[in-house]
A = this chain, B = another copy of it.
């Protein structure tokens, strides 16, 4: 947005509709590596959890969130925020998990619009059964292959990226994902 009064000789190109700043060779390599690694890793985790626990990675994440929450329950919107997904997606997902008997919905007493997702005992058992294999795979795929220093770097980098994507700042939230 930059209303260019008069052009300075600065090479700092940011002209609104001019040639965009393409990625350099090096950046392209990094970007491709990022896409490849994340694609492969996500697919790998999905397949393992589908095989061992009958659910995709994201659904496993939902159970983990609930298991860690006080009372093993969480408001839907809260859960959606924690997982960085839309309410709609969550709604469908919980419907499926409920069908499996792993989660139950309960009305929120303080707000009649609200729903709590509640992790059932059965769901907790399934989670306990799936966790070791999952953690082991995450280790094998990531933590066992990186140095301590690299793990630290990765954490730092991912936080920077995530922060840029959520306006998590002064209360200005994404409209919980549109």
Please report A residues at the B interface, Cβ cutoff 8 Å.
1-2, 20-23, 26-27, 29-31, 33-44, 47, 61, 83-85, 131-132, 135-136, 138-143, 145-146, 148, 150-162, 164-166, 177-178
Contact = CB atoms under 8 A, between A and B. Distances in A.
Nearest to A139: B21
B159 A37 contact: yes
Copies of this polypeptide in the complex: 2
Contacts of A138: 23, 31
Contacts of A61: 35
B85 A23 contact: no
Contact of A135 (B20, B40, B43, B165): B20
B165 A37 contact: yes
B151 A154 contact: no
A160 to B, nearest CB: 5
A165 B141 contact: yes
Contacts of A38: 38, 42, 158
Contacts of A131: 20
B35 A135 contact: no
Between A33, A139, A150, A166, the greatest number of chain B beta carbons within 10 A of the residue's beta carbon is seen for A33
Given A1-B148, A151-B30, A153-B150, A158 B21 contact: no
Contacts of A159: 33, 37
Nearest to A161: B37
A160 B135 contact: no
23 contacts: A2-B148, A20-B132, A20-B135, A21-B135, A26-B151, A26-B152, A30-B154, A30-B158, A33-B159, A34-B142, A34-B154, A34-B155, A36-B84, A36-B158, A39-B84, A40-B161, A40-B165, A43-B177, A47-B178, A145-B161, A150-B156, A150-B160, A153-B153
